[in-house]
Amino acid sequence: MSDWEPISIKKIRSYSVKDRPSKVRQDDFGAPWKAGGSMGSWFASLPRILAGNDFRAVVEKLVRAAREKKMILLGMGAHPIKVGLSPHIIDLMERGIVRGLAMNGACVIHDTEVAMVGHTSEDVAARLGEGNSVWRMNRPF
């Protein structure tokens, strides 16, 4: 014998998905890049919904600020470094577009590891249970 009873669905009301208000429509979807296409055409082809609109708004504001020679400061955690965006960030700095960085300590660790040994980002979940860390066990310097 079980100690539980199924939830009653007597009061559940349904309606057609055709009548339901939705945030996402197929017409808002992005389009894939086409060979020979420009960066501008790719940017224009991004989805016009949710984070696609947020990304577009941020880029447009950054472009306007750069054209107006306004100060652009980049505040970030370590993920841009971990996913290989350092060359892009450096390029924006060398062009004078990004003029200041604010980073956490993890940025310094990942950047140092990449500079010293060419790779970074150990699997913390796998190593934590072992009580091991490359920084504690065998420092490469």
Instruction: Report pTM.
Output: 0.63
Say how far apart CA 59 and CA 119 lie, in whole Å.
29
pLDDT in tens, 91-111: 999 999 999 999 999 999 999
User: Quick one: pLDDT band at residue 137, thresholds 50, 70, 90?
Assistant: very low
* Selected residue with higher pLDDT from 103 and 2: 103
What's the token pair of residue 49?
């919904």
24: pLDDT strictly greater than 80: yes
Domain assignments of the chain as residue spans, ordered by start: 38-70, 72-141
CA gap 114, 50 in Å, rounded = 34
Asked if the model's pLDDT at residue 56 lies above 80, the reply is yes
Q: Judging by beta carbons within 10 Å of its beta carbon (0-12, 13-18, 19+), is residue 52 exposed, middle or buried?
A: middle
